[in-house]
Structure 1
């Protein structure tokens, strides 16, 4: 019970909403997706990278630096009161890259990033069976259908690319 109280006692409030965790999918160099879990009470970021060889430790440090410094700054600047503002520090967050997660094949890293976020957010263990390499296409298909179903009126999308004016660019 003490751990449960501690968890809820450290909640962060933004706009009347309690927030402890923030999940962020991050694209690296337009070639690779990683997922991040930002724990506000712990001042720590966990990186889930399904293909660790895609980003060296040095490159990951460069990717992470803005998050490590900007998240504390945003917490201070977005605090709703002076009392809340003083509880935050501008000290940078820490981070770690987990290495004990199921690996993905090239092209599946985006789906895996979303799956890591989903599983962690609803407190489900990452199952190597559920996210096994052969299941990548099935996961992509199911996720695409799920996202499509959640988008209101997605099937009524109208192309607004101004196609009528494309002739001006033709040779």
Structure 2
């Protein structure tokens, strides 16, 4: 699961891997954001429990949750090393999105740097404008109806 996260007016991105119980953090300024990232590490067992609760299958998560409890309800968090970027201090959101894209596609993070971030920002803006004017997308959005089934948002942990 890829997550862009705003931390004190600064954007970072994360890759949450439920299988390996790990979180990779991508920050163009190379800082650590423990207070903002650690809650995600605690959230993983709760998400697993919620999925299990809403699905009456034979999925066994008790052992998973117990192993996470042993490690203080957390998973491993690692900060991906990268050079200090974002010297203009205004493109951290673009960096966050581009780091997600690089990670997803298996590309080297060095492809995203201060010399090409302006063009990346313009491309993202154009892609959003193009999507906002796409008649097929507009039609599909107009026909969307939210699911009628409402589940209980509270999940009890064992």
TM-score normalised according to structure 2 size: 0.70
- 1:112 corresponds in structure 2 to 95
SS in 2 for 1:38: strand
Distance in 2 between residues matched to 1:48 and 1:144, nearest whole Å: 21
Between structures 1 and 2, the one with greater strand share: 1
Show CA shifts across 1:73-124 (max 9, x none).
Answer: 1112112324243463261211011123562221111101100101111222
Look up the match of 1:10: none
Alignment of 1:99 with 2:78, yes or no, is no
**Which of residues 29, 41, 59 in structure 2 aligns to 1:83?**
59
CA distance in 1, matches of 2:47, 2:21: 13
Q: How does 1:1-150 map to 2 (within 5 A)?
A: 22-29=1-8, 31-52=9-30, 55=31, 57=32, 60-79=33-52, 80=55, 81-86=57-62, 88-89=64-65, 91=68, 92-101=74-83, 103-105=85-87, 106-126=89-109, 128=110, 130-150=111-131
Task: Name the CA distance, whole Å, in 2 between partners of 1:68 and 1:100.
Answer: 22
Question: Aligned-residue CA RMSD in angstroms?
Answer: 2.3
Quote how far apart the aligned CAs of 1:34 are. Answer: 0.4
| Greater RCO, CA 8 A, separation 6+ | 2
Structure 2's unaligned 5+ residue stretches are 69-73, 139-158
Q: How many residues of Structure 1 are paired with residues of Structure 2 in the alignment?
A: 126
Q: Once structures 1 and 2 are overlaid, which stretch shifts more, 95-104 or 33-42?
A: 95-104
Larger Rg: 1
Q: C-alpha offsets along residues 42-91 of structure 1, whole Å, 9 cap, x if unaligned?
A: 10000000012xx5x4xx11111210111221112112324243463261
Which structure 1 segments of 5+ residues have no match?
1-21, 156-171
